[in-house]
Amino acid sequence: METRTLGRQGLKVSALGLGCMGMTFAYGPAADRRQMIGLLHAAVDRGVTFFDTAEVYGPFNNEELLGEALAPVRSKVVIATKFGFAPDPADARRWTAVDSRPEHIREVADASLRRLRVEVIDLLYQHRVDPRVPIEEVAGAVKDLIRAGKVKYFGLSEAGVASIRRAHAVQPVTALQSEYSLWMRTPEETVLPALEELGIGFVPFSPLGRGFLTGKIDEHTQFDSGDFRNGNPRFSAEARRANRALTEVVADIARAKQATPAQIALAWLLGRKPWIVPIPGTTKLPRLEENIGAASITLTRQDMQQIEAATSSVKIHGARYTEAQERMTGL
């Protein structure tokens, strides 16, 4: 697989990464650990070098999974993790409060190093902007970790342009991670132009719309009781029914290109900018191989224009998050 460079600091990664959250968190019960270790090894064997996790995924056991699986191939991979949440004092299973105090950042970094079984964290993101802590203090804390040799590169997640600029002035931001796909295009308005200006890479999470853009989900799909999509406005039965209009458009384009809808959705992202690296997640080897296949699809300028014309008239129904979750983003 070809490589891409995130940021001006020289971080090189595979054109497609692997989002690992769903292996242990958010989409129902954790997948079988041995199978996920096998899947991670399969990803490395197929050229994936960029793996995304966070302390809150699980919490903790996602980092531990990657630490065990990737230890034998440490020199071949780039591991990104995140700080910025704290457990609810009343319920350790709930991590809804943001916490980016410098002392907490240092604690999280040390704990992540142990769980990941690494000597240095390749890319450390602030998971969500903390309104109580000036972003300059956050960037300064990560800068100290970089100077100490515990972190290589600094990233932000779901941050707005003002926060990105202020953080970047203290410690260069290598990558911004935010949701971006054919059904969530908000970053195009102000974020992408700012990233291009500042030389910051972009890592879209949920590039397949949490599975919806594969075309395999409709209003009749039943999710596991522990799947967070059950409470997501965009995944209400009514929204899914209405949003099928988008998947039908993507499916038509995919048939013309002899590809799958998922591959077209990913290839579209890869075609947007050379510094965009999507991180689709999966727990299944066939889906991993399908997603990786998107890196071999070249969309021409005419193809990109066709996709733009075909999808621009489709209105997306349902908010991407609940109101409480949306308040925790900076977009």
Task: Assign 82 to helix, strand or coil.
Answer: strand
Report the C-alpha gap between 38 and 164 in whole angstroms. 37
Question: Based on the number of CB atoms within 10 Å of its own CB, is 36 exposed (0-12), middle (13-18) or buried (19 or more)?
Answer: buried
Pairing of strands 11-14, 18-19: unpaired
Find the farthest-apart pair of alpha carbons in the chain and give their distance in angstroms, rounded: 55
Is 153 an annotated catalytic residue? no
- Overall size of the chain counted in residues: 331
Catalytic residue among 57, 125, 153, 180: 57
Residue indicated by tokens 């390749």: 122
Report yes or no: 124 and 116 within 8 Å, Cβ to Cβ: no
Question: How is residue 16 annotated by DSSP?
Answer: S
Angle between helices 237-257 and 261-272 in degrees, nearest 10? 80
Bridge partners (DSSP) of residue 72 are none
Report yes or no: 268 and 259 within 8 Å, Cβ to Cβ: no
Q: Tell me which residues are annotated as active site.
A: 57
